[in-house]
Amino acid sequence: MTKVPSVIHWFRLDLRIHDNLALRNAINEAENRKHHLKPIYFLDPDIKDKIGINRLRFLIQSLQDLNSNLKKLNSRLYCIRGNAINYLPKLFEDWQVKFLTCQVDIDPIYVEQDEVIEKIAEEKDIFIVKRVQHTVYDYNNVLKKNNGSVPMTYQKFLSLVQDVPVKECIEITKPISDDCKSKDGDLKKYDVPTLEEFQIDESNLEPLKYPGGETEGVKRLHMYMGRREWVCKFEKPNSSPNSIEPSTTVLSPYISHGCLSAKLFYHKLKEAENGMPHSDPPVSLLGQLMWREFYYTAGAGTKNFDKMVGNPVCTQIPWGKNDEHLKAWAEGKTGYPFVDAIMRQLKQEGWIHHLARHMVACFLTRGDLWISWEEGAKVFEGYLLDYDWSLNAGNWTWLSASAFFYKFFRVYSPIAFGKKTDKEGLYIRKYVPELKKYPTAFIYEPWKAPKSIQTTAGCVVGVDYPKRIVDHDKIHKENCTKMSTAYKLNKERKAMKRPFPID
């Protein structure tokens, strides 16, 4: 008896059914050839050491939701404990795989993995279909349109995509043929794990603010897109980094995990804007989506985009090393309440407002601590639910004035910046509760409070809350000088590399 061959769809950063062309291709192939359909996901047992617990929880919920959505389509998710390079070749044999589909992901982890897998598949005569479907536009086409080089400004990027039509979303609603089901469909070993399997006791975790999954992501999208007035008036710089409830949509974790299609977001935004006066990029909601597209294009077209050394668009800056300061920053113990509140919200909830990211990124790098943006990017990678390789690297280079942005003397003040949208310091009181009882006059600068007030408020600086690890007023000026020097050196180096003009 010969085994029925299989078609694999390999889920990675596309944890959804809707608008998933690669999945559609796999289903069609399986049905046409009466092969078994195997939707798979590789979950590395070591993943707990690689991503934060909040993100792991979001991922597992997304996988559980994906499995239940696949079941509605008369299929299931095969969640495989292990990494792809070790397990896929075995599955190729065991399942008699003839055809594999997946989404194109540009995070180097996936790129390297794909190279190995593609080689093995070629030897075994397995046909691979990869689809660019994580973005609205195909960044390869954008790069081509720009003569193979990366558009270095947002405006240039917009001009390149202006007339590019955006494809309609793919819908998958018809249940998959029984012919495509295999007998191992009931095996428990392929079930999506619970957090317990990772020795995580969920009752110890903070309550969940943003549950993972396609169902939740799509629901959230419809909820926000229904508020047409709000969508059309949206201007990012006018939203607040320190409101108690998010002032923006928090669709980002769903988009980064692929629970929500960026293309669906695009079409729904266009629908909401249609026939109404509305704000425009860069500040509009559509503009936010286009920033993502911009960074994806830059990430796809730039070598070592997530590093300083060897990154052709990144200014080389002699960052210092200070593990104590880095740790204080990451744990929200810098002694600057606004910075600490942001970092603690990040750690607790896995999401902070974009402008809050500006504040703490500037503080870590060019503003105060003079620590490499790569270190900050690593911390964000652990904590952010919406971690995305391209966006993380792009935004960190921006904020550290290493690429795209050059006005390094525009430094965010850890005292003044937050006051603009939260005079009373309610945000600080929530996330740095030891300062809860401080008078408003000192909530951003507790070290200035007289000892008697500190005692009355039940929080003495240096005892119950850390002293400032740096003096912002002094250090940010010194750092500006360092930035200026680094820029000059960079300019000289660039000039040296340029060939002499020919007479």
Q: How far is the CB of 474 from DNA (least distance, A)?
A: 10
Using CB under 7 A as the binding criterion, the count of chain residues that bind DNA stands at 43
d(CA 196, CA 198): 5
Q: How far is the CB of 419 from DNA (least distance, A)?
A: 8
Q: What is the dihedral of CA 252, 258, 259, 264, to 10 degrees?
A: 80
CA–CA distances in Å: residue 12 to residues 77, 259, 475 = 12, 11, 43
Of these, 32, 159, 440, 456, which contacts DNA (CB under 7 A)? 159
- Segment holding 400, helix H or strand E: none
Question: By CB under 7 A, is residue 410 in contact with DNA?
Answer: yes
Of these, 11, 234, 398, 431, which contacts DNA (CB under 7 A)? 398
- Segment holding 418, helix H or strand E: helix 416-419
C-beta separation of 350 from 54 below 8 A: yes
**Dihedral sign for Cα atoms in the order 453, 455, 460, 465:** negative
Could you tell me which stretch among 41-49, 56-64, 161-169, 401-409 binds DNA (CB under 7 A)?
A: 401-409
| Placement of tokens 């990430």 in the chain | 299
Residue 488, classified by CB atoms within 10 Å of its CB into exposed (0-12), middle (13-18) or buried (19+), is: exposed
Question: By CB under 7 A, is residue 427 in contact with DNA?
Answer: no
Of these, 439, 441, 477, 492, which contacts DNA (CB under 7 A)? 477
d(CA 265, CA 415): 36
Q: Which two tokens stand for residue 449?
A: 């409070």
Could you tell me which stretch among 91-99, 119-127, 411-419, 435-443 binds DNA (CB under 7 A)?
A: 411-419
Question: By CB under 7 A, is residue 151 in contact with DNA?
Answer: yes
Question: By CB under 7 A, is residue 453 in contact with DNA?
Answer: no
Q: How far is the CB of 422 from DNA (least distance, A)?
A: 13
Is 248 annotated as ligand-binding? yes
Could you tell me which stretch among 23-31, 97-105, 128-136, 403-411 binds DNA (CB under 7 A)?
A: 403-411
Residue type, 417: F
Is 2 annotated as ligand-binding? no
| Placement of tokens 């990124």 in the chain | 361
Kindly tell me which of 90 and 156 has the beta carbon lying closer to DNA: 156
d(CA 58, CA 381): 14
Kindly tell me which of 218 and 391 has the beta carbon lying closer to DNA: 391
Could you tell me which stretch among 44-52, 166-174, 205-213, 283-291 binds DNA (CB under 7 A)?
A: 283-291
Of these, 228, 354, 436, 468, which contacts DNA (CB under 7 A)? 354
> Which residues, including other chains, have CB under 8 Å from residue 119's CB and lie 6 or more apart?
none
| Placement of tokens 């310091």 in the chain | 425
C-beta separation of 84 from 42 below 8 A: yes
Is 432 annotated as ligand-binding? no
C-beta separation of 343 from 332 below 8 A: yes
Of these, 200, 415, 426, 460, which contacts DNA (CB under 7 A)? 415
Question: By CB under 7 A, is residue 475 in contact with DNA?
Answer: no
Of these, 87, 198, 447, 487, which contacts DNA (CB under 7 A)? 487
CA–CA distances in Å: residue 115 to residues 94, 257, 267, 376 = 22, 22, 33, 29
Is 388 annotated as ligand-binding? yes
Q: Which two tokens stand for residue 418?
A: 């937050």
Q: How many CB atoms lie within 10 A of CB 71?
A: 12
Question: By CB under 7 A, is residue 474 in contact with DNA?
Answer: no
Three-state SS annotation for 306-348: CCCCCCCCCCCCCCECCHHHHHHHHHCCCCCHHHHHHHHHHHH
Name the β-bridge partners of 97: 6
Residue type, 195: L
Question: By CB under 7 A, is residue 119 in contact with DNA?
Answer: no
Question: By CB under 7 A, is residue 444 in contact with DNA?
Answer: no
Terminal Cα-to-Cα distance of the chain (whole angstroms): 79
Is 343 annotated as ligand-binding? no
Question: By CB under 7 A, is residue 237 in contact with DNA?
Answer: yes
Question: By CB under 7 A, is residue 236 in contact with DNA?
Answer: yes
Site for DNA in 70-89 (CB under 7 A): none
Could you tell me which stretch among 36-44, 97-105, 225-233, 281-289 binds DNA (CB under 7 A)?
A: 281-289
Could you tell me which stretch among 69-77, 285-293, 328-336, 373-381 binds DNA (CB under 7 A)?
A: 285-293
Could you tell me which stretch among 21-29, 62-70, 224-232, 399-407 binds DNA (CB under 7 A)?
A: 399-407
Question: By CB under 7 A, is residue 484 in contact with DNA?
Answer: yes
Is 293 annotated as ligand-binding? yes
What values do phi and psi take at 280, rounded to 5? -130, 165
Kindly tell me which of 128 and 152 has the beta carbon lying closer to DNA: 152
Of these, 24, 35, 429, 476, which contacts DNA (CB under 7 A)? 476
Question: By CB under 7 A, is residue 480 in contact with DNA?
Answer: yes
What values do phi and psi take at 241, rounded to 5? -75, -15
Pick out the residues of the known binding site for FAD: 248-252, 288-295, 386-388
Residues lying near DNA in the complex (CB under 7 A) are found at 151-156, 159, 236-237, 282-283, 287-288, 291, 315, 354-355, 358, 398, 405-413, 415-417, 420, 476-477, 480-481, 484, 487-488, 490-491, 494, 501
